[in-house]
């Protein structure tokens, strides 16, 4: 079961979660609804009507969960803060909500675990949703104030901050494709939301610099590697568009202070002038960051398809033998290529893999074990790609496995298990899967070589 992977001395092994996916206690401690609470109540939006009401009950079990993380031998924990716990109503700060995260951070500190905190992992307060959500430019100002509040209360103990998790999902998947809250299907809205999310990232960055805190702040993007199905000019052009849609629409404004011309043209032909982008916005968005977080799960292969509503891009399904339970193709080589590409085309700031992992239909055996060998192979393959990037001189500082434990997988509810720790949702019992034991061995070996 042991592995020959080797990483630089200060390399961080971590595990990741997000608030809505694990906390539960959605109406406790002064929290009000987020847009995900309301979305889950709409029939047909989530698998079997699942909600985050209880989830992994982490709100009550956080101490036990932190102990589990410590036992895994990792050095860092990435989690997110639920905005509606901090500001349950317009202008109302909720000390009880903040206390929960203070206790969590204290607990991590006691066990020498470094927190990496995501400010926004999709659970927008419903009161902001009522104001138009990310379509309302003012929401970026509210985000700036929320960020300032988090930094004021936690900034001394937390030195790694992620403004947003996957703005592509919070905009395109949520306002364009309609699969995530608030479930709209309007491409003008999707682009507006994406812009305001990026703008709000700029607000949080500004708040961080103004705070005088000396830690690190960055953003996490879900990036993919895109391949044309053939070398025909049409397929190659489709791959360029798909890359623009997934990657460049976010990387270019952040690192080049501009939206990609080719995509602007395509989008404007479809949704009209993007006049919600105002003078000065791109300077604000592209202020220097300390690191970039990359979430990587799969690659895509695309072909030209005039009937496709995605700007003429058709996605070619992968072979079922090489897929995870999400239907995502396992392709570790693409993680290597993606990291290389980001480093060569966009930035030399440090990179982190802030999420990588796999869902499989795990079975709790009679002996109480979960033999998830496919997940081990997935993680090992991707870590080998990360190791290779570092050997080539790449500045990758850490790897956060998604996820610490099985949890609420958004529209898929509890039907997909990404955890290295199994959660029995009837009893809330946690059981280490074989992958957790494998990761523990790797992280422990890594750590003990340090001393
Ligand atoms: C990412 C999300 C995370 C989880 C994984 C599987 O897109 O950031 O919350 O759902 O996918």
Task: Write the pLDDT tens digit of every residue in 114-170.
Answer: 999 999 999 999 999 999 999 999 999 999 999 999 999 999 999 999 999 999 999
3 state DSSP class of 160: strand
pLDDT computed for residue 2 by the predictor? 57
Residue 107 among the catalytic residues? no
Asked if the structure places residue 2 within a domain, the reply is no
pLDDT band of 265, cuts 50, 70, 90: very high
Of 23, 107, 126, 166, the active-site residue reads 166
pLDDT computed for residue 450 by the predictor? 64
Q: How far apart are CA 312 and CA 292, in angstroms?
A: 30
Contact 387, 379 (CB under 8 A): no
Contact 126, 35 (CB under 8 A): yes
pLDDT computed for residue 451 by the predictor? 45
Q: How far apart are CA 432 and CA 15, in angstroms?
A: 13
Full domain range(s) for residue 365: 12-449
Question: What is the best residue among 118, 197, 295, 401 to mutate for testing ligand 1's pocket, by most ligand atoms within 8 Å of CB?
Answer: 295
Asked if the structure places residue 180 within a domain, the reply is yes
Asked if the structure places residue 6 within a domain, the reply is no
Give pLDDT tens digits for 408-438. 999 999 999 999 999 999 999 999 999 999 9
Asked if the structure places residue 114 within a domain, the reply is yes
Asked if the structure places residue 308 within a domain, the reply is yes
Ligand 1 atom at minimal distance to the Cα of residue 165:
8
Sign, CA dihedral 77-12-211-276, equals negative
Contact 184, 175 (CB under 8 A): yes
Give pLDDT tens digits for 304-343. 999 998 899 999 999 999 999 999 999 999 999 999 999 9
pLDDT computed for residue 417 by the predictor? 98
Full-model pTM: 0.98
pLDDT computed for residue 253 by the predictor? 99
- When pLDDT is averaged across residues 428-451 and rounded to a whole number, the result is 92
- When pLDDT is averaged across residues 199-227 and rounded to a whole number, the result is 98
Residues 6+ apart with CB under 8 A from 353: 293, 294, 295, 296, 335, 382, 386, 396, 398, 399, 400
> Residue 420: what are its φ and ψ, rounded to 5°?
-95, -10
Query: pLDDT averaged over the chain?
Result: 97
- When pLDDT is averaged across residues 36-59 and rounded to a whole number, the result is 98
CATH number at residue 75: 3.20.20.80
Question: Has residue 381 got a pLDDT over 90?
Answer: yes
User: What does the chain come to in residues?
Assistant: 451
Ligand 1 center to residue 357 CA distance, Å?
Answer: 9
Ligand 1 atom at minimal distance to the Cα of residue 220:
8
Q: How many structural domains comprise the chain?
A: 1
Ligand 1 center to residue 298 CA distance, Å?
Answer: 12
Q: How far apart are CA 299 and CA 277, in angstroms?
A: 30
Asked if the structure places residue 345 within a domain, the reply is yes
Question: Has residue 1 got a pLDDT over 60?
Answer: no
Asked if the structure places residue 82 within a domain, the reply is yes
Asked if the structure places residue 3 within a domain, the reply is no
């Amino acid at each position: 079961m042991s592995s020959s992977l080797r990483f630089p001395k200060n390399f961080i092994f971590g595990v990741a979660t997000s608030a809505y996916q694990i906390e539960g206690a959605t109406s406790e401690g002064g929290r009000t609804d987020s847009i995900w609470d309301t979305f889950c109540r709409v029939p047909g939006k989530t698998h079997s009507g699942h909600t985050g009401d209880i989830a992994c009950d982490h709100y009550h079990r956080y101490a036990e969960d932190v102990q589990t993380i410590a036992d895994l031998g990792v050095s860092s924990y990435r989690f997110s803060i639920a905005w509606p716990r901090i500001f349950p109503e317009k202008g109302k700060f909720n000390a009880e909500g903040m206390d929960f995260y203070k206790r969590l951070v204290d607990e991590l500190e006691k066990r020498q675990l470094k927190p990496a905190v995501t400010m926004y992992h999709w659970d927008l307060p419903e009161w902001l949703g009522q104001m138009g959500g990310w379509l309302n430019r003012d929401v970026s100002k509210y985000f700036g104030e929320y960020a300032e509040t988090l930094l004021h209360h936690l900034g001394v103990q937390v030195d790694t901050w992620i403004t947003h998790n996957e703005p592509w999902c919070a905009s395109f998947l949520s306002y364009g494709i309609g699969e995530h809250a608030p479930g709209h299907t309007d491409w003008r809205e999707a682009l507006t939301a994406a812009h305001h999310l990026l703008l709000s990232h700029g607000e949080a960055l500004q708040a961080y610099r103004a705070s005088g805190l000396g830690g690190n702040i960055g953003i996490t993007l879900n990036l993919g590697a895109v391949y044309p199905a053939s070398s025909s000019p049409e397929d190659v052009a489709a791959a360029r568009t798909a890359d623009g849609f997934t990657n460049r629409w976010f990387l270019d404004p952040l690192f080049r202070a501009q939206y990609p011309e080719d995509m602007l043209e395509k989008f404007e032909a479809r949704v009209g002038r993007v006049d919600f982008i105002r003078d000065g916005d791109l300077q604000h968005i592209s202020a220097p960051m300390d690191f970039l977080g990359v979430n990587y799960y799969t690659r895509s292969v695309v072909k030209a398809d005039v009937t496709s509503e995605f700007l003429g891009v058709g996605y070619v399904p992968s072979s079922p033998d090489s897929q995870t339970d999400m239907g995502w193709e396992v392709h570790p080589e693409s993680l290597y290529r993606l990291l290389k590409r980001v480093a060569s085309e966009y930035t030399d700031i440090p990179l982190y893999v802030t999420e990588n992992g796999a869902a499989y239909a795990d079975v709790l055996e009679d002996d109480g074990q979960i033999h998830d060998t496919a997940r081990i192979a997935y993680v090992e393959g991707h870590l080998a790609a990360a190791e290779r990037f570092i050997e080539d001189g790449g500045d990758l500082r850490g790897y956060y496995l998604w996820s610490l434990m099985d949890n609420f997988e958004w529209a898929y509810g509890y039907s997909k298990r990404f955890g290295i720790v199994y959660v029995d949702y009837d009893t809330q019992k946690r059981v280490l899967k074989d992958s957790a034991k494998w990761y523990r061995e790797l992280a422990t070996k890594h750590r003990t070589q340090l001393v």
